[in-house]
Amino acid sequence: MRIPSALRREQLVDATIDVMREKGVQSVTMREVAKRANASLAAVHYCFKDKDELVHAAVERWLKEMVPDEMRRQTGVGVRLAVRRMLDAWWDGLEKVPKNAQAQFELFLWAVRNSERIRKFMYPLYLAEITSVLAEAQRMTGDTCEWELERIARSLLVIVDGCSFQYFDNPESSDAKALSYEMVEAIFNRANVAQIKRAS
C-alpha cells in the first residue's frame, strides 16, 4: 500500500527527531532515517532533496513543539506567570529527559558549523514562539513593561541557556534552577513588568 507523500514526510521528520534526540544531529543520515521510518532510501530522497532540508523540517517542528498549545492557552495569567510557566516546563523536561535539551544545544552548535540555513532560522524561530506567548499574555491581561517583549524573550533564552549548561556540569549539586528563577525576577523588575487588569 502506497503511503501519501505528506504522511511519509511526517514519518521521516519523526524519525529524524528521534535520531537527533538519541544520537545527535551528526548521526542523522538519509539511510538511518529511512531505516527508522521503515521507508526506502528512494522515498527519503523523493521527500527531501538532502540532509539539510530534512534536518530543517525536523528542527522547525521540534522548536514549535517546545512551546506547546497548552502553554499558549494559559496566557491569561499575565506576562510574569507565563514566563515562569515556560521556565517550569523547561526544567521539568530537562530533569526528566536531559538528552532532549542536550540534543537541542548540540543541534545549534552543529548548525553554526555546518548549516548556515538552519543557523539563521533556528534561534529566530524559537525567539518568535516565546515572544508570541508573551504578546498574547500582555494582550489578554493589559500588562505593561518598559522593555520590548522580544527583549524579555531574549533575556529568558540567555538565562535558560546559561543555567542549563551549569546544570549539565553537575546536576546533583547545581543551584542553576533556583538561580534561573532569581534572574527572571530580576529581569521583571528591571523591565518594570506590571499587570493593570485581570483577564475576564
Write out pLDDT tens, residues 14-48: 999 999 988 888 889 999 999 999 999 999 999 99
pLDDT at position 195 is: 75
pLDDT, one tens digit per residue, over 61-112 is 887 777 666 566 666 788 999 999 999 989 998 999 888 888 888 888 888 9
In the chain, the percentage of residues whose pLDDT exceeds 90 is 52
173 burial class (0-12, 13-18, 19+ CB within 10 angstroms)?
A: exposed
Q: Specify whether the backbone of 61 is left (phi greater than 0), alpha (psi in -120 to 50) or beta.
A: alpha
pLDDT at position 185 is: 96
- Rounded to an integer, what distance in angstroms lies between the CA atom of residue 152 and that of residue 79? 10
pLDDT at position 26 is: 87
Task: Tell me the CATH architecture of domain 66-191.
Answer: Orthogonal Bundle (1.10)
Cα dihedral 93, 95, 96, 98, rounded to 10, equals 80
Task: Tell me the CATH architecture of domain 5-57.
Answer: Orthogonal Bundle (1.10)
User: Amino acid letter at 86?
Assistant: M
Domain boundaries, the chain: 5-57, 66-191
Q: How many residues does the chain have?
A: 200
User: Amino acid letter at 52?
Assistant: D
The set of cell numbers assigned to 154 is: 531574549
- What SS3 state is found at 115? coil
Beta-carbon contacts of 133 under 8 Å, excluding residues fewer than 6 positions away, are 67, 71, 72, 75, 82, 86
C-alpha closest to that of 14 among 65, 52, 49, 50: 65
pLDDT, one tens digit per residue, over 106-155 is 888 888 998 888 888 888 888 998 999 899 889 888 899 999 999 999 99
Please give the backbone phi and psi of residue 194, each rounded to the nearest 5 degrees, phi first. -140, 145
135 burial class (0-12, 13-18, 19+ CB within 10 angstroms)?
A: middle
